[in-house]
Amino acid sequence: MSDDPATLARTLIRSQPTATLSTVAAEGGWPYGSLVLTATDMSGLPILLISTLAQHTKNIIADSRASLLFDGTVGLTERLTGARVTVLGKMLRCDSDPIIRARFLSRHPSAAGYADFADFAFWRLDVERAHQVAGFGRINWIEGPDLLPEFGDIAELLAAEADVIGHMNADHSDAVALYANVLCQRPGVGWRLTGVDPEGADMARPGDHCRLSFDRRVSSAETARIELVRKVKQARAQISRG
């Protein structure tokens, strides 16, 4: 994986299933923090599914400024040596976008049980800046255009993502297991692909998530297939080397 701060920060954002949402309290103006489920759109912008009855949503409606803290330190003996990134921006409601809905529910299938409730809606954080701490002494401010660069024409990948996910989970579950167990070094069975974007693939099993970074960017079903096959070969070669 690249050592570029923006790439590392973007990978962390894409890989975490939850974040701490901070909003400006509608009453009193105090900072207000809450735990939320997260996904991302194809570009890497964070997506939330939240209720208008929740305090954080009431805060957002009054003042759209917000931040999300993505924490990659869980499980480390010395957690302050691990990576975390805080993204700052404005929340925009986007529940009319079927691709955002599909990406979120693929990552969090249990949310399908309440996604259609009248008080729930999808929101996206339009990121303006990010503050990354990748360990002691590795601290960077990253501007929005650097954190979320243009990936070019990815319309074909957007249209094909659901088919790619369905095909891999139905016909190549052994490959998905290799991605998680070998390349991501995450044990356990029952891994499934939940998303594919230009830079990698997301996977989940009950209680766990991980991310497979691609060596090359993809923009279509065919280029994604080539990269997924390449990653299977890498996993098998790693096993053969012991």
Looking up tokens 């230009």 gives: 198
Which DSSP category does 73 fall into?
Answer: -
The whole-number average pLDDT for the span 49-72 is 97
CB 85 within 8 A of CB 12: yes
Comparing 3 with 118, the larger pLDDT belongs to 118
Instruction: Read off the pLDDT of residues 178-191 as tens digits, 9 standing for 90 and up.
Output: 999 999 999 999 99
Q: Which domain holds residue 191?
A: 155-240
If you average pLDDT over residues 43-68, what whole number do you get?
97
Last residue of a domain, one of 115, 147, 179: 147
3-state secondary structure 12-69: HHHHCCEEEEEEECCCCCCEEEEEEECEECCCCCEEEEEECCCHHHHHHHHCCEEEEE
**CA pair distance 51, 122, nearest whole angstrom:** 9
Let me know whether 11 and 101 are in one domain: yes
Structural domains of the chain, count:
2
Same-domain pairing of 130 and 193: no
Both 136 and 164 in one domain: the answer is no
* Boundary (domain end) residue, out of 87, 121, 147: 147
pLDDT given for residue 75 in this prediction: 84
Query: CA–CA separation, 160 vs 164, rounded Å?
Result: 6
Do 141 and 186 belong together in one domain? no
CA 95 – CA 101 distance, rounded (Å): 7
Distances (CA, A) of 117 to 21, 93, 134: 21, 15, 38
Same domain, 81 and 194: no
Mean of the per-residue pLDDT values of the chain: 95
Q: Quick one: what percent of the chain has pLDDT higher than 90?
A: 88
Is residue 96 domain-shared with residue 159, that is, in the same domain? no
The pLDDT of residue 80 is: 87
My answer on whether 141 and 40 are in the same domain is: yes
Q: How confident is the model at residue 2 (pLDDT cuts 50, 70, 90)?
A: low
Say if residue 121 is in the same domain as residue 26. yes
**What is the domain-level CATH number for residue 180?**
3.20.180.10
pLDDT at 138: 85
What residue ranges in the chain does DSSP mark as E strands? 18-24, 31-37, 39-40, 46-51, 65-71, 84-93, 120-133, 139-143, 192-197, 200-205, 208-213
For residues 185-212, give the mean pLDDT: 96
**Quick one: pLDDT at residue 216?**
95
Distance of CA 72 to the CA centre of its chain: 12
Residue 12's Cβ-count burial label (10 Å; 0-12, 13-18, 19+) is buried
Burial-class residue 30 by CB neighbours within 10 Å (0-12, 13-18, 19+). Answer: exposed
- Residue where one domain finishes, among candidates 83, 116, 147: 147
Q: Biggest alpha carbon distance in the chain?
A: 61
Q: What is the pLDDT of residue 152?
A: 85
CATH number, domain at 90? 2.30.110.10
Asked whether residue 58 falls in the same domain as residue 177, the answer is: no
What pLDDT does 77 receive?
87
Band the pLDDT of 137: cuts 50, 70, 90: confident
* Mean pLDDT calculated for residue range 141-166: 94
Q: Are residues 126 and 202 in the same domain?
A: no
Q: Would the pLDDT of 236 be above 80?
A: yes
| pLDDT tier at 1, thresholds 50, 70, 90 | low
Predicted local distance difference test score (pLDDT) of residue 135: 78
The C-alpha atoms of residue 49 and residue 51 are separated, in whole angstroms, by 7
Q: Domain check: are 87 and 185 in the same one?
A: no
Q: What is the pLDDT of residue 180?
A: 98
pTM attached to this predicted model? 0.93
At residue 76, the pLDDT reads: 84
Mean pLDDT across the stretch 96-120? Answer: 95
Residues 136 and 165 in one domain: no
Question: Distance (Å, rounded) from C-alpha 103 to C-alpha 37?
Answer: 12
| Segment 7-43, tens digit of pLDDT | 999 999 999 999 999 999 999 999 999 999 999 999 9
Q: Which residues contact 14 (CB under 8 A, 6 or more apart)?
A: 40, 44, 197, 199, 200, 202, 211
